[in-house]
């Protein structure tokens, strides 16, 4: 199992795959951070850790069932309304990506609407918080989609399952270490949170397009996200520098 340890190219593959898993996991961290921030304060850290632990378990299980994952790419049926020469074959992977993408778009747009208009799920006592079980269930649904995409990428890069598992474990460990800071930063800055939700809509559209057979290079998406983040960071820095000084109102002389 560990014949690759003395192979330098295997270590390069491990490093490359770990970095790629972290990059691919950024959208997962954003989704988990936004959802976990809906929990009561004392449960937010637990929600983030359970969500990332679920992502780790899901990815490792998928890696240990590589044969089953490979079968998901095989066509399940052909769309009946397609022309014979242009028949569209649909696999389980396509259906999972489309379903997950639509779910991600729905959740992101719902969060944007609540941010702009306010939540309608509030009671007269001041609003009800989301439950830990409900949040973890939503995280697990999208974890499956992100994990499937991540595992298929890993299979295409390296052949040793042990390398894939190590890369996933290291990547998830780094995500767990940084998830709290990312969640606090996103929650502290409303414009960053709106930008993050917009990213989730973009990623959801990409998943739907990928499941529909329209391949979009991930590099374009991540470059657009990186550019938007850079602009937002500059905007935040300038807004802090240009914060107007609070002046005391002059006191009117007593009559």
What was the pLDDT predicted at 127? 46
What was the pLDDT predicted at 86? 61
Confidence of residue 126 (pLDDT cuts 50, 70, 90): very low
Confidence of residue 247 (pLDDT cuts 50, 70, 90): very low
Average pLDDT, the chain: 76
Neighbours of 56 (CB within 10 A): 20
What was the pLDDT predicted at 80? 62
Give the burial class of 111: count Cβ atoms within 10 A of its Cβ; 0-12 exposed, 13-18 middle, 19 or more buried.
buried
> CA dihedral in degrees (220, 221, 222, 223; nearest 10)?
40
CA 195/CA 225 separation, integer angstroms: 9
41 pLDDT above the threshold of 70: yes
Confidence of residue 145 (pLDDT cuts 50, 70, 90): confident
CA 46/CA 34 separation, integer angstroms: 14
């Amino acid at each position: 199992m560990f014949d690759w340890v003395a192979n330098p190219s295997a270590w390069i593959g491990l490093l490359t795959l770990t970095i790629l898993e972290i990059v691919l996991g950024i959208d997962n961290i954003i989704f988990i951070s936004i959802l976990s921030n809906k929990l009561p304060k004392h449960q937010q850290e637990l929600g983030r850790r359970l969500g990332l632990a679920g992502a780790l378990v899901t990815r490792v299980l998928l890696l240990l069932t590589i044969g089953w994952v490979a079968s998901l790419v095989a066509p399940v049926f052909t769309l009946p309304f397609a022309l014979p020469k242009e028949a569209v074959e649909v696999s389980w992977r396509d259906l999972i990506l489309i379903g997950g993408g639509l779910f991600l778009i729905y959740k992101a747009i719902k969060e944007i609407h609540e941010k702009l208009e306010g939540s309608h799920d509030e009671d007269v006592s001041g609003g009800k918080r989301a439950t830990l079980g409900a949040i973890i269930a939503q995280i697990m649904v999208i974890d499956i989609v992100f994990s499937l995409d991540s595992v298929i990428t890993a299979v295409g890069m390296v052949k040793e399952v042990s390398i894939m598992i190590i890369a996933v474990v290291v990547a998830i460990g780094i995500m767990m270490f940084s998830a709290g800071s990312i969640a606090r930063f996103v929650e502290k800055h409303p414009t960053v949170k709106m930008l993050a939700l917009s990213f989730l809509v973009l990623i959801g559209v990409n998943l739907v397009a990928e499941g529909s057979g329209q391949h979009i290079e991930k590099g374009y998406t991540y470059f657009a996200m990186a550019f938007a983040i850079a602009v937002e960071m500059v905007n935040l820095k300038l807004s802090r520098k240009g914060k107007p000084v609070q002046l005391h109102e002059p006191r009117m002389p007593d009559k």
